[in-house]
Structure 1
Amino acid sequence: MRNIVALAIFTWIIALIYFMNNIMYVQKKEGLDEGMIDKLRAALEGIEELKEQNVKLKSLAEEEKKEHTENVRLLNEILHQKKREGKLSEWKEKEREGKEKEEKNEKMKSQLYSSDHEKLRKMLDDRIIEAFFYAKKYVGDNKTDRKSVANHLENQLLSLIGLSYQFSEVDQAEEWRRKSLANLTQHIQTTIDRIQNPSNCSKAKILVCNLDKQCGFGCQLHHVAYCFVVAFGEGRTLVMEGDGKEWRIHFGAPYTGYSHNGWTSTFLPVTSCTVKDVIAGSGPVNWESDRSARVVSLPIVDSLRILPSYLPLSFPSSISDQLIKFHTNPPAFFIAQFLWYLMRSNEELQKQLNEAKEKISFSQGPIVGVQIRRTDKVGTEAAFHSLEEYMEWTEIYFKVEESRQGKKVKRRIFIATDDPSVFKEAKEKYPSYEIFGDEGNANTAQLDRRYTDSSLLGVITDIQLLSHCSHLVCTFSSQVCRMGYELAQVRQNTRGNEFHSLDDVYYFGGQQAHEQVAIEKHVAENDREIDMEVGDLLGIAGNHWDGFSKGTNRRTGKVGLYPSYKVKENWRIVDFPALPPL
């Protein structure tokens, strides 16, 4: 294109010279004949034509220049893009994955459920029906070996549970639940932190927690959590009596605490306010006497005449829909938020916890936390449970996990106990298991050494490591067991059913009544059972883990057993004004 334009311009210049010479020649003549006039006229017409061509050629030259400039720009842009592609390849891959996920989600919306969801649902339906067919045929059949039937049915049901867990994870549902619970945790923790650190301590509403409760570490922490949740419910800043320096653990001993430094020997301060900042003149007013006072003192829960509405098992109405949707035990998830805030480790403790955690390969597969409480609990607050009972439910968990994953799963456990002999027993009886745990912590938990700095570090370490485990097998009568379970809800954002208790259902000391509501009618089949009508409220005393729960029918006043599958939780949802909706 460029050569053609140049040649055309050259030709035009030659022609112009030629015509100009002809004109000059004609002008030199004295007279003009008709031939000359024709030549002159033709020359002038040729000049006009060349002028038009010149305009066109200039236009072509400009277009050529613009085209060349644009080509250079595009080339530079391509080269620049090539350079950037190396740096942006990871971003592009993430963008592609994001688009694929978005397209999949849009497709799911249009289809309501994905193909994977429907396949698993049908499989689950089929296996439930098959289990029913088998039970109907062989349970009670005297011609069939009962042990064989029981073993077959157990394996069939374990496979069914594994498939149920697998079904709950389809279409990234588990990831969605965890993210949603993490958002709730962030929302609650941010609100707690704001209330605990007011701009003006002398004007803020304050609740002073009485720490003079004579009990062990787990009991003490749950007591402070009780103070904390009541303070939060009333929009008050929690301040510890004596700023936590008078944190008492063991009544009657020469030294009445785990550490001379009190609360901050292990944990971060719970507030930026001090008792001196918030109290001027006379001390705080008793909470039961005047709840409208700016500074109140909350008695030990055992001495209260009227329980605060904020006590567990209550949880906030502002987030109740999300909690019920994402968690199987909303009250535990909510109260766990306060324990989590209370047990924020100081720098020294965090260093020791990190060192303890590094000794256990949590990232290499599931680990069951086995917490065995004995010593002072056995015969008083709880019955003795053999190691075999704990390990039976541990093995059940691993069988379910193998069904869920569809492959062999290595058996690994973390043991937390106050009985050092458990470690030797476990290693001898269960050689196929990889066993983690610190026998030294068990030694410091002995009654004669329990109230020392080393014992405090030991129990905190055991609780924190239990909260890292994939599943817990323990007794909920133990405060340590419940604390490990509670912290796990915040740490892992799990659904809340990753445990098996050998005795009690989950509870919180001093809690509001735990009630369930009947969703199916039941007619007692023996004198140990009670009747139920749909809608009856039942105050639950415990789950026997055999298909039956024990409780009181509020309508009839009768106490007895009822089928656990015929009831659902009657959640206690109350207004916590300090916590806005998410």
Structure 2
Amino acid sequence: MLLFGNKFYLIFISFWIFGLYCIFTSFHSTSNNNKVFEDRIEYLQNEVDLLRQKLTQLQSKNNINDQVKVGKIDKNLKKAYSSYFSENIPCQELENEMKRLKRQLRSKNSGDGTTSSREEPSMEYEKLRRKIEMQARELTYFTTDQLNKISEKLTDDDKQKWNNVILRFADQSRVLLASIRNITEVDGYQLWREREHASLSKLMQTRLNSLQSPIKPCENVKRVTCNINKGCGYGCEIHHAMHCFHIAYAIGRPLILFSDGWRYNPGGFDQIFLPPSQNCTTSSATGASSWSNYETADVVEIPLIDNIYPRKDFMPMAVPEDIAERLIRLHGNPFVWFTGQLMKYLLRPQPWLKEFMEKKYESIKFEVPIVGVHVRRTDKVGSEAAFHDISEYMKHVEDYYTIYQYQNPNVNFTKRVFLATDEPAVFSDARSKFPNYIFYGDTAVAQSAQLNTRYGTESLKGVLLDIHFLSLCDYLVCTFSSQICRVAYEIMQQRLVDGAWRVQPLDDVYYFGGQNAHNQRAVLPNKAVWPNEFSFQRGDIIGTEGNHWDGFSKGSDKTNGQTGLYPSYKTEEIVNVAKMHTYPEVRVNIDEF
């Protein structure tokens, strides 16, 4: 009897949550009174806290699946209960809605010091806001590096005093970044950013669906083929597939992906992810012509990105001209956002994989705020990347959490890290050196990523879990020489309005293997005064080869031919924009956002 009572009570609470959600959404759309807004927010917050406590207590006593199967519970209640959980309306959804409501309330209060709601920001405003953060970070890199170099030359007594200077500067830098990042919370444009992100994402996914689902029989449309078997790691092969999908989108031809005998799953790509197309399959990809005939041939095979010739402007890292202005205004790295959308479509999980990830999410009790750390060792160290101790990663993790606290001074939180690595010993090393953190992660996944067990379906499941959870983090610390981290960073952009800044790489800047030239533009002139530095004029085009994270980048001036180091803060990224297929048949109603 007691067991039945608990189960019935859990169902009752489920209806209660759903009722609160309906009340809240109705209130959200109709109320215009600020006092009512504030009272409702406080009431809903209290209710959510209470429900969380009661649900936690009940779920610890009863398994949810067993509860649904109990025959004595009324069938209508069971149906409603199952429907509720299948529609996924948890307390977290209420909390997200409350955050949006609070933001709207702040926008309405134009008379109390906050900024009134505005329709949309200008291109210049958004670019300047991001530029200020970039310059603040570059100032921190440069000054910290120089202060540390001075410290090395001081006596022991003076070093202690100088260390206080270094610590104070670091703290002031974090306060500055916290203020910069809070601008989006008070400038009145965040609702526009959220709508624009949703609108562009819907447009991209609708276009990709149209591309991969031609109305005509596939034999009657021009198409491209690609073989995922590049013979490298998972991140490398996925980026190869994205290179192919990028070109398919650019020239308006559906992609047919060959994956038989895939080293990660011999049964093929389609057993892990949904097929790229239902009506354009490998059976309609015979007689493929070489890339040189891509403008005329019915079927064209896309080669590896390093071997493709002739190279075209629409190849990575270009973005489509027809949506470029919207992307540049919305996101700090438009190509990363664009690639994230390609991945969103091509990497749609099969039902079994989706269920597998959801169960893992529940089992580890994934919570935010959380920072993702990816430590790549094994074959990368000494060949493609340098060794980085866990303390190098954790320095940036601590910086993020300090800034987060300055942004949210009244919030109490636990410092969490999701740790992904191919070296199991990293887990014990991290936990012993940083006991004040909670580390999520799986040593079994790390073990499966060892060179002797890396290739196979079980190892693939571990890689997919790592990427999935890294992409769900609020911030990433990693090495961009690892393609796994770049994949996670790209997928992260699918859910974030502008997550370009939410990463701290320890080595390379972001890049796409085999990309066209990565150029920057000088926004200020520079006169060389440091060793290996070169001079340039405002407007010069500089080919960048990497950021040293000490205030300097390495590159070459394509105007005067000089090479060496240059001050990063005096340049800006050039977004490659290219003409691509425009999908005139696809329309998205902006008003729904």
1:554 aligns to what?
Answer: 558
Question: For 2:423 and 2:27, how far apart are their aligned partners in 1?
Answer: 56
Question: Is contact 2:225–2:285 with CA below 8 Å preserved after alignment?
Answer: no
Question: For 1:155 and 1:90, how far apart are their aligned partners in 2?
Answer: 41
1:406 aligns to what?
Answer: 409
Instruction: Find the partner of 1:447 among 432, 447, 451.
Output: 451
Question: For 2:373 and 2:271, how far apart are their aligned partners in 1?
Answer: 28
- How many positions carry a matched residue from both structures? 468
Instruction: Find the partner of 2:174 among 158, 172, 191.
Output: 158
1:527, CA displacement in angstroms?
3.3
The farther-off stretch of 295-304 and 370-379 is: 295-304
Question: For 1:212 and 1:423, how far apart are their aligned partners in 2?
Answer: 32
Question: Is contact 1:468–1:492 with CA below 8 Å preserved after alignment?
Answer: no
1:88, CA displacement in angstroms?
8.3
2:363 aligns to what?
Answer: 359
Question: Is contact 1:517–1:567 with CA below 8 Å preserved after alignment?
Answer: yes
Match runs of 1:355-434 below 5 Å: 355-362=359-366, 364-407=367-410, 408-434=412-438
Secondary structure in structure 2 of the residue aligned to 1:401: helix
Q: Are 1:331 and 2:341 matched, yes or no?
A: no
RMSD: 3.1
Task: Indicate the structure (1 or 2) with the bigger Cα radius of gyration.
Answer: 1
Instruction: Find the partner of 1:267 among 273, 277, 283.
Output: 273
Secondary structure in structure 1 of the residue aligned to 2:248: helix
Question: For 1:415 and 1:239, how far apart are their aligned partners in 2?
Answer: 35
TM-score by length of 1: 0.75
Q: Are 1:487 and 2:491 matched, yes or no?
A: yes
Secondary structure in structure 2 of the residue aligned to 1:549: strand
CA distance 1:324–1:309, change in 2 (3 Å) = same
CA distance 1:271–1:530, change in 2 (3 Å) = same
1:416-453 Cα shifts (integer Å, max 9, x gaps):
11000111111111111011011111011011111121
Question: Is contact 2:293–2:300 with CA below 8 Å preserved after alignment?
Answer: no
* Structure 1 counterpart of 2:238, one-letter code: L
Question: Is contact 1:230–1:308 with CA below 8 Å preserved after alignment?
Answer: no
Question: For 1:344 and 1:550, how far apart are their aligned partners in 2?
Answer: 38
1:278, CA displacement in angstroms?
2.4
The farther-off stretch of 416-425 and 331-340 is: 331-340
* Structure 2 counterpart of 1:154, one-letter code: A
Question: Is contact 2:108–2:117 with CA below 8 Å preserved after alignment?
Answer: no
2:7 aligns to what?
Answer: none
Instruction: Find the partner of 1:183 among 189, 196, 199.
Output: 199
1:63-107 Cα shifts (integer Å, max 9, x gaps):
xxxxxxxxxxxxxxxxxxxxxxxx989735631149999898688
Secondary structure in structure 1 of the residue aligned to 2:301: strand
1:167 aligns to what?
Answer: 183
Q: Are 1:229 and 2:227 matched, yes or no?
A: no
1:191, CA displacement in angstroms?
0.3
2:224 aligns to what?
Answer: 207
* Structure 1 counterpart of 2:270, one-letter code: T
2:508 aligns to what?
Answer: 504
Question: Is contact 1:515–1:538 with CA below 8 Å preserved after alignment?
Answer: yes
Match runs of 1:104-143 below 5 Å: 113-114=115-116
Q: Are 1:149 and 2:165 matched, yes or no?
A: yes
Secondary structure in structure 1 of the residue aligned to 2:218: coil
1:56 aligns to what?
Answer: none
Question: Is contact 1:372–1:418 with CA below 8 Å preserved after alignment?
Answer: yes
Question: For 2:224 and 2:33, how far apart are their aligned partners in 1?
Answer: 48
1:300, CA displacement in angstroms?
1.2
Question: For 2:27 and 2:504, how far apart are their aligned partners in 1?
Answer: 45
Secondary structure in structure 2 of the residue aligned to 1:156: helix
Question: For 1:361 and 1:92, how far apart are their aligned partners in 2?
Answer: 31
Question: For 2:256 and 2:248, how far apart are their aligned partners in 1?
Answer: 9
Secondary structure in structure 1 of the residue aligned to 2:564: strand
Question: For 2:409 and 2:104, how far apart are their aligned partners in 1?
Answer: 28
Structure 1 residue runs without a partner (length 5+): 1-86, 249-256
1:321 aligns to what?
Answer: 325
1:192 aligns to what?
Answer: 208
Structure 2 residue runs without a partner (length 5+): 1-21, 38-102, 122-128, 589-593
2:31 aligns to what?
Answer: 96
CA distance 1:204–1:565, change in 2 (3 Å) = same
Question: For 1:274 and 1:361, how far apart are their aligned partners in 2?
Answer: 40
* Structure 2 counterpart of 1:378, one-letter code: V
* Structure 1 counterpart of 2:408, one-letter code: Q
CA distance 1:419–1:319, change in 2 (3 Å) = same
1:502-559 Cα shifts (integer Å, max 9, x gaps):
0000000111111000011110013310101000000000011111111110011111
Question: Is contact 2:106–2:114 with CA below 8 Å preserved after alignment?
Answer: no
Q: Are 1:245 and 2:249 matched, yes or no?
A: no
Secondary structure in structure 1 of the residue aligned to 2:182: helix
1:473, CA displacement in angstroms?
0.4
CA distance 1:112–1:309, change in 2 (3 Å) = farther
The farther-off stretch of 259-268 and 222-231 is: 259-268
* Structure 1 counterpart of 2:179, one-letter code: L
* Structure 2 counterpart of 1:95, one-letter code: T
1:578, CA displacement in angstroms?
3.0
Question: Is contact 1:317–1:576 with CA below 8 Å preserved after alignment?
Answer: yes
Question: Is contact 1:178–1:494 with CA below 8 Å preserved after alignment?
Answer: no
1:219 aligns to what?
Answer: 236
1:471-523 Cα shifts (integer Å, max 9, x gaps):
00000100100000000001333331101000000000111111000011110
Secondary structure in structure 1 of the residue aligned to 2:247: helix
1:20 aligns to what?
Answer: none
* Structure 2 counterpart of 1:176, one-letter code: W
1:314-341 Cα shifts (integer Å, max 9, x gaps):
0011111111111110011111111221
Question: For 1:471 and 1:445, how far apart are their aligned partners in 2?
Answer: 23
Secondary structure in structure 2 of the residue aligned to 1:492: coil
1:26 aligns to what?
Answer: none
1:233, CA displacement in angstroms?
0.5
1:274, CA displacement in angstroms?
4.3
1:86-138 Cα shifts (integer Å, max 9, x gaps):
x98973563114999989868869x9954999xxx9xx99xx9xx99xx9xx9
Match runs of 1:463-474 below 5 Å: 463-474=467-478
1:45 aligns to what?
Answer: none
Secondary structure in structure 1 of the residue aligned to 2:512: coil
1:515 aligns to what?
Answer: 519
Question: For 2:25 and 2:398, how far apart are their aligned partners in 1?
Answer: 42
